[in-house]
Structure 1
Amino acid sequence: MKDWRLIQVIQEMYRQQAEMYKNREDKISDRIVSIYQPHVRPIPRGKDRISTEFGSKQLVMLKDGYTHIEKLSWDNYKEGSLLTESLETYKRLFGCYPERVLGDQLFGTRENRRFMNGKGIRYVGKPLGRPSSNSKEQKRLLQKEMPERNAIEGKFGQGKNGYGLGKIKARLKDTAESWVMSIYFVMNLLKLAAGSLLSVLQIYYWLVTEGYLTTMGNRSYTQFISRYLRH
């Protein structure tokens, strides 16, 4: 069965390459770049050091230091188009809309701003159009609040540097996604332990007792979580 799936992936990859060669194109939808990980897609990043990345793309919300994954996909997508959906998720989880939204400029589209204005949500970002009479005051407020967005970037850095978020070695799609979810789960647990009477060791024993470390279907998960919960 494994070899049959591999043959199917190779046939589809050959079809894609032949079609691009025939049409003299250098891109195609759902392009396969790995026969062992056919779900992985090349994602252009536009960065100076790395122009293209391979892996899952995560849209994450941060509240009080805790992370919630709104969307995890192996295909490229526009985060700005998912803002209204994310805000509805926020309301469903916490019972109200957030007071303000801090994000990249790509979240500040006219459609998103209209939605946020209608819900009484303040968007922290550069205003559209010509500068208003109180533009200097708005600029000072923006310069004061925008550094708070570093918290979400720091959370990504914490996951990559401390927990291997950028080095997921699982081949299967479901296993890799479970690995990513486990990393955010552990970071949230450590945040909870830091602000409560629970110790990291107590949380680890709770995970073992409840069976979370044995039902993940992969021994490496148990080793991964137990290792970092000891830190």
Structure 2
Amino acid sequence: MVKIQKISEIEPTLGFTEFDILKRYRQSFELSELGRLHALFPFSELAQQMQLKESPLGRKSYFSAEGKIALMVLKSYTNFSDSQLIEHLNGNIHYQIFCGIQIDPLHPLTNYKIVSAIRQELAAHLEIESLQPILAESWKPYLENLHVCMTDATCYESYIRFPTDVKLLWESVRWLHRHLYKHCLDLHIQRPRNKYPDISRAYLSYSKLRKRRQSHTRRIKRRLLQLLEKLIGQIRALHFTYKNELILSSDYQRRFLVIQTVLQQGKDLFSGKKVSNRIVSIDRHYLRPIVRGKETKSVEFGAKVNNIQIDGISFIEHLSFKAFNEGVRAKDCIRLQQKLMKVRVKSLAADSIYANNANRKFCTKYGITTSFKRKGRAATDEKLRKILRAALSRERATRLEGSFGTQKQHYSLAKIKARNRKTETLWIFFGIHTANAVCMIGKVEKKKKMVA
């Protein structure tokens, strides 16, 4: 019995009654918000650009290339976990039409990991620079004020525990001890002696303390650093002695290198030295602290993204997991908008960090009006300029910064649960552009009413 079939393959074989029911479901789907959302995505062009294959592993896939992209859009739209998404996909015919499949009610999908597998497949083919022009070309007819560029940066946080030096050192120690035990078990040799049991009890006692003095923290750090160095030496000795018998995966080797970096950074911090590019997680070694200076969160951990916004629709200008100064990227923002919209930018709305002399000279040279606070003597038309600056600042503060909150609260971008750099980037891409497509629904309806 086939669990799942593509609708395009079974329509010609359906009887009249069944086809009539499916036709009614299609009609109701097209009238729903989900159907209008589906119509706004050029799935075929995106799949072609990403060069997706329906059967990447040599077997027939449940989802078509377009259906895989649609599944990622559906996940961002519903804000479901992977298991919840599969559960609702089994029972919701509109979700199935959205993804171009039909699931047998007596044989529902049970393996929710298919969502993760598709996410990893798409992440390997994701190129933001080549996909955004396709979306921009599709949405451009419904956008207004193409000459106004608004830009700002935000941090899309990753789903990790708040990192401390003690936690990071303990996680490294625990990982090394577990693999040391496994190596010795596989090689049938005696495990080297170390003070892991003693320090494990000491860490448990420390973690239970309600108030931790600086002396307590420094003591446990010293002991963890000594044990971590000891474990690294013991595992290196095993690697050298039994290099022909141990099979070490690429993930294992990468994690081992990360832990060695953690040890060196921990030593430097313990001795009072300044450390750059601090590792905050051995699982997601690519994350770095992003100092934001907010009242509630002074530091965030995730991807920092510099966005541009055109008539309420956001596009990614620069994405990095390391901190960067968005103030120097104003020229790149203007160039990106002109590339996407094929219209010259005449107005720029950005906050004070972008108001450096280089950006001011660039905007003056090309006649671009900005929201920056005036420097120097007032112009003859200063009153008009002041009104325009205020309007640009108000629009940026409400629409652009408001869109960040909407994306994070409703489109799976509050705490990103992806497990590596590529899938996290994909998660952000689909979250932002799914929010864009929902916003586009109103613009399309408005355009249709004006034409009618």
Bigger mean CA deviation after superposition, 30-39 or 2-11: 2-11
For the pair 1:46 / 2:313, whether they are aligned, the reply is: no
- Which residue matches 1:15? 264
In structure 2, distance between residues paired with 1:137 and 1:193: 34
In structure 2, distance between residues paired with 1:144 and 1:188: 23
Q: CA deviation at 1:145?
A: 3.3
Unmatched runs of 5 consecutive residues or more in structure 1: 198-231
Q: For 2:308, what is the secondary structure of its paired residue?
A: strand
- Which residue matches 2:326? 79
CA contact (8 A) 2:371 2:390 kept: no
In structure 2, distance between residues paired with 1:46 and 1:129: 29
In structure 2, distance between residues paired with 1:174 and 1:21: 33
For the pair 1:145 / 2:387, whether they are aligned, the reply is: no
- Which residue matches 1:182? 430
In structure 1, distance between residues paired with 2:385 and 2:340: 31
Q: CA deviation at 1:136?
A: 5.3
In structure 2, distance between residues paired with 1:136 and 1:196: 36
Point out which structure has higher relative CO (alpha carbons under 8 A, 6+ apart). 2
- Which residue matches 1:161? 409
For the pair 1:59 / 2:309, whether they are aligned, the reply is: no
AA of the residue aligned to 1:5? R
Q: For 1:70, what is the secondary structure of its paired residue?
A: strand
For the pair 1:116 / 2:363, whether they are aligned, the reply is: yes
Unmatched runs of 5 consecutive residues or more in structure 2: 1-248, 446-452
TM-score scaled by length of structure 1: 0.77
CA contact (8 A) 2:370 2:389 kept: no
For the pair 1:88 / 2:335, whether they are aligned, the reply is: yes
1:103-141 superposed Cα distances (whole Å, 9 cap, x missing partner): 111111111011011112111121123656765554444
% identical aligned pairs: 31
1:27-77 superposed Cα distances (whole Å, 9 cap, x missing partner): 422210100011111111112221111111010000022111001111111
For the pair 1:102 / 2:349, whether they are aligned, the reply is: yes
Greater helix content: 2
CA contact (8 A) 1:57 1:72 kept: yes
In structure 1, distance between residues paired with 2:352 and 2:424: 30
CA contact (8 A) 1:97 1:119 kept: no
For the aligned residues, what is the CA RMSD?
Answer: 1.9
In structure 2, distance between residues paired with 1:20 and 1:55: 22
AA of the residue aligned to 2:431? I
Q: CA deviation at 1:183?
A: 0.3
Q: For 1:168, what is the secondary structure of its paired residue?
A: coil
Cα distance change, pair 140–100 in 1 and its aligned pair in 2 (3 A): closer
Structure with the greater alpha carbon radius of gyration: 2
